[in-house]
């Protein structure tokens, strides 16, 4: 509004100045010059006419011998020249007048105050242009003193002739000049107002479109009529809007493509600007940075709390122009167990401003597998070392000099055999575990009667149970239940659990095996009265080589792999295995439980549950 008022004021002022310099001043000057010229010429003509009358008067002395004759001569001559001739005494009293009868002359006012009379008296000739009291038209007066003659006293002769029409017109123009000027000013004021409104409306139409473009609305158009003054401006704005809309759409599509590529990447990606502030993060990085959405505009150090990474980013950003060719590599640890290979590459924009792209490649799994492999090698070496050392010792003793007696030799060979058997079992267990982990043999789940499998397993453990007089209490239904598994592998699970039960049970105790059906699965329980397993060990006993107490490892046949094998078999058949045990010493013993699907459950091979676990 303020702008439009200012614009209107400026437009009005411009119009007025234009009016002043283009019309008022020239016209005023022209009128003034014309007026002065015409006046001077009219006065000159009147003086000439006056002189002409005086010349006539000189040639007709009889006409001015007395005032009566003079009156008649003036009336006749004035009528002929269309001029008023007045004979004025030197005191200003009118003596004769061509246009006034003799009887009325004494009633006339004194002419002593008339400008032409006073000028004539003072300078010899006097002129004036004005409207007489009874005149309709403007009159030109000229007066000159004359000596008189005969009965006519010395006097001043005055001629009054009508002024030229042009002078009359100019006089009228002068009188109305101010009104004309005021009218012109008012008209130009309203013209400026009208024009400014017109321009404002057109400007508003254009600014409405630009505002819409700012608010991402590209559908609006100016739509001026082709006859409109601003039609070319309107079409240009429309064209510009269409162009911007096209460009924005292209940029949006490109952005979506880039986002799709970035978000489809498994690697986390972060883009940094010249000030080392995060500009873009992809979806994969959300798994690394908890509040990835809030990380924009912050520095890597603030969101990942890793000084090494931060320094590397700064180093890449501050490097010279050759930096883009040499990406920076480093390995960082985020959180407790996540390890990333990080690549930082320089990425300058079109204007040469430096930027960087940081790619996070998660190698936590590789690292974990590496650790597992190292642990495995260490464990196997450790497990084999004890029996091997023993074998070596006894073999050396047997070969030493003097040789031991036969009985000692026999007992030594027994020890060597026992250790060898232990190593053979361990190698067998390891091979079986490797096969289970690799799923080398295809799973062929079949309906298996668990009671048969338990009987077979117990038979295999009998030699272990007999010396301790441990009894089996088989509470499984004989024929009603079938589970979906492999018979041989189910026997193996029962056997491992029974062997542990026998191994850790006291003499003459009872091993109880029962089952229940829960939600389509059969849950088996193998309970013994042994020492039990403390809470903190319960999850870990299923790991390879894990033993609760180290001295238990010396028990015959203990490899630390049995429960791990059980877990792999059960999980391969979509089951689960766990242990329940009150605190050791409380006399509660240990209960191992595992679940397997009933044989009417779907037989498809299950890949996800527990398949990735390596104990
Ligand atoms: P091992 O061959 O040593 O028995 P397992 O994997 O079968 O290996 O068992 C791992 C460990 O779990 C054993 O060393 C033992 O410490 C503990 N354990 C297993 N079964 C029992 C049980 N019935 N009672 C007490 N501890 C047990």
Residue 529 maps to a domain: yes
Beta bridge partners, 525, equal: 514, 593
- Tell which atom from ligand 1 comes closest to the C-alpha of 530: 24
Do the domain assignments include residue 414?
A: yes
Say if CB 591 and CB 526 are below 8 A apart: yes
Distance 538 CA to ligand 1 centre (A): 10
The answer on 577 and 458 residing in a single domain is yes
Q: Are residues 104 and 223 in the same domain?
A: no
Provide the token pair at 512.
């109880």
pLDDT tens-digit series, residues 357-372: 999 999 999 998 998 8
Separation of alpha carbons 261 and 102, rounded Å: 124
CATH of the domain at 527: 3.30.565.10
The rounded Å distance from CA 578 to ligand 1 centre is: 13
Q: Which atom of ligand 1 is nearest to the CA of 558?
A: 2
Task: Please tell me the distance between residue 455's alpha carbon and the centre of ligand 1 in angstroms.
Answer: 21
Ligand 1 and 504: CB distance under 6 A: yes
The answer to pTM > 0.75 is no
Does residue 395 sit in the same domain as residue 475?
A: no
Q: What are phi and psi of 528, to 5 degrees?
A: -125, 175
Q: Answer whether 540 contacts ligand 1 (Cβ < 6 A).
A: no
Give pLDDT, residue 306: 86
Ligand 1 centre distance from Cα of residue 296 (Å):
52
pLDDT single digits (tens) 248-278: 999 999 999 988 998 899 899 999 999 999 9
Q: Which of 416, 436, 456 is the last residue of a domain?
A: 436
Residue 496 CA to ligand 1 center (angstroms) comes to: 9
- 486 and 595 in a single domain? The answer is yes
Ligand 1 atom 12: residue of nearest CA: 541
Do 371 and 344 belong together in one domain? no
CATH number at residue 410: 1.10.287.130
Q: What is the pLDDT of residue 321?
A: 60
Cβ 288 vs Cβ 267: under 8 Å? no
Q: State the closest ligand 1 atom to the C-alpha of 528, by its place in the atom list counted from 1.
A: 23
Q: How many residues does the chain have?
A: 615
The CA–CA distances, whole Å, from 412 to 108, 399, 502 equal: 182, 11, 27
Helix axes 406-438, 562-572, angle to 10 degrees: 30
Indicate if 415 and 448 belong to the same structural domain: no
589 ligand 1 Cβ < 6 A? no
Same domain, 584 and 476: yes
pLDDT of residue 611: 32
Query: Would you say residue 555 lies in a domain?
Result: yes
Minimum CA distance residue for ligand 1 atom 19: 500
Does a structural domain hold residue 356? Answer: yes
Q: Could you tell me if 139 and 6 lie in one domain? A: yes
Q: Consecutive sets of 10 residues in the chain, 615 residues long: mean pLDDT of each? A: 71 88 87 90 93 88 81 90 92 92 90 93 94 84 86 88 88 83 90 87 86 88 78 87 92 91 90 91 82 83 87 86 71 86 89 89 91 89 90 93 88 94 92 85 87 96 94 93 94 96 94 94 95 91 85 63 95 94 75 92 40 31
- Total domain count, the chain: 5
Whether the CB of 541 sits within 6 Å of ligand 1: yes
**At which of 341, 360, 379 does a domain end?**
360
Q: Does the beta carbon of 562 sit less than 6 angstroms from any atom of ligand 1?
A: yes
Contact at 8 Å (CB) between 483 and 447? yes
39 falls within a domain: yes
Q: Do the domain assignments include residue 48?
A: yes
142 plus 25 within the same structural domain: yes
With a 6 Å cutoff on the Cβ, whether 548 touches ligand 1 is yes
Cβ of 547 below 6 Å from ligand 1: yes
Ligand 1 pocket test, candidate residues 560, 566, 615, most atoms within 8 A of CB: 560
Q: Is 530 a pocket residue for ligand 1 (Cβ < 6 Å)?
A: yes
Q: Nearest to residue 221, comparing CAs of 209, 211, 231?
A: 209
Which of 314, 333, 360 is a domain's end point? Answer: 360
Ramachandran region, residue 594 (left: φ > 0; alpha: ψ -120 to 50; beta: rest): beta
Domain that residue 497 falls in: 443-614
Q: By alpha-carbon position, which residue is closest to atom 7 of ligand 1?
A: 562
**Of all protein residues, whose CA lies closest to atom 11 belonging to ligand 1?**
547
Q: Are residues 593 and 530 in the same domain?
A: yes
Sequence-ordered alpha helix ranges (H) in 400-486: 406-438, 450-468
Residues 453 and 598 in one domain: yes
**66/124 same-domain check:** yes
Examine residue 261 and state whether it is found in any structural domain, yes or no.
no
Question: What CATH number is associated with residue 68?
Answer: 3.30.450.20
> 358 in ligand 1 pocket by Cβ < 6 Å?
no
């Amino acid at each position: 509004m303020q702008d439009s008022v200012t614009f209107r004021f400026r437009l009005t002022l411009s119009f007025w100045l234009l009016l002043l310099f283009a019309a008022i001043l020239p016209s005023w000057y022209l009128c003034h010059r014309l007026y002065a010229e015409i006046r001077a010429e009219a006065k000159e003509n009147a003086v000439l006419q006056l002189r002409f009358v005086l010349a006539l008067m000189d040639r007709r002395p009889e006409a001015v011998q007395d005032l009566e004759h003079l009156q008649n001569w003036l009336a006749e001559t004035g009528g002929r020249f269309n001029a008023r001739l007045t004979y004025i005494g030197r005191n200003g009293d009118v003596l004769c007048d061509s246009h006034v009868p003799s009887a009325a002359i004494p009633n006339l006012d004194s002419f002593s105050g008339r400008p032409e009379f006073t000028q004539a008296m003072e300078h010899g000739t006097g002129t004036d242009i004005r409207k007489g009291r009874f005149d309709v038209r403007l009159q030109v007066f000229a007066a000159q003193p004359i000596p008189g003659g005969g009965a006519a006293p010395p006097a001043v002769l005055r001629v009054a002739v009508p002024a030229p029409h042009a002078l009359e017109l100019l006089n009228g123009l002068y009188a109305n000049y101010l009104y004309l000027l005021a009218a012109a000013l008012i008209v130009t004021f309203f013209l400026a107002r009208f024009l400014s409104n017109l321009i404002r409306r057109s400007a508003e139409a254009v600014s409405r479109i630009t505002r819409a473009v700012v608010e991402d609305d590209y559908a609006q158009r100016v739509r001026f009529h082709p006859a409109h003054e601003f039609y070319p401006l309107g079409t240009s704005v429309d064209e510009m809007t269409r162009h911007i809309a096209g460009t924005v759409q292209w940029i949006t599509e490109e952005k979506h493509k880039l986002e799709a590529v970035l978000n489809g990447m498994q690697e986390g990606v972060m883009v940094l600007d010249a000030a080392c502030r995060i500009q873009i993060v992809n979806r994969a990085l959300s798994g690394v940075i908890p509040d990835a959405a809030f990380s924009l505009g912050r520095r890597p150090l603030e969101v990942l709390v890793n000084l090494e990474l931060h320094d590397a980013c700064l180093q890449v950003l501050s490097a010279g122009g050759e930096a883009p060719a040499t990406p920076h590599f480093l390995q960082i640890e985020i959180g407790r167990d996540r390890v990333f290979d990080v690549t930082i590459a320089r990425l300058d924009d079109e204007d040469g401003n430096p930027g960087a792209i940081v790619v996070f490649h998660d190698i936590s799994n590789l690292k974990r597998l590496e650790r597992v492999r190292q642990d495995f090698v260490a464990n196997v070496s450790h497990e084999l070392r004890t029996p091997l050392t023993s074998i070596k010792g006894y073999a050396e003793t047997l070969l030493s000099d003097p040789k031991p007696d036969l009985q000692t030799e026999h007992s030594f060979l027994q020890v060597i055999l026992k250790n060898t058997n232990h190593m053979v079992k361990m190698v067998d267990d390891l091979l079986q575990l490797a096969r289970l982990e690799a799923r080398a043999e295809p799973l062929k789940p079949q309906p298996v009667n668990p009671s048969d499998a338990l009987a077979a397993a117990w038979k295999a453990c009998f030699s272990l149970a007999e010396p301790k007089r441990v009894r089996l209490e088989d509470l499984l239904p004989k024929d009603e239940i079938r589970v979906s598994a492999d018979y041989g592998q189910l026997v193996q699970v029962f056997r491992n659990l029974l062997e542990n039960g026998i191994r850790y049970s006291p003499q003459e105790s009872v091993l109880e095996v029962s089952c229940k059906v829960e939600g389509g699965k059969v849950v088996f329980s193998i309970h013994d009265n042994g020492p039990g397993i403390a809470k903190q060990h319960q999850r870990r006993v299923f790991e390879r080589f894990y033993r609760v107490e180290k001295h238990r490892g010396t028990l015959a046949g203990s490899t630390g792999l049995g429960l791990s094998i059980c877990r792999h078999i059960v999980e391969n058949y979509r089951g689960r295995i766990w242990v329940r045990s009150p605190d050791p010493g409380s006399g509660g013993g240990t209960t191992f439980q595992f679940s397997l699907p009933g044989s009417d459950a779907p037989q498809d091979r299950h890949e996800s549950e527990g398949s990735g676990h390596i104990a």
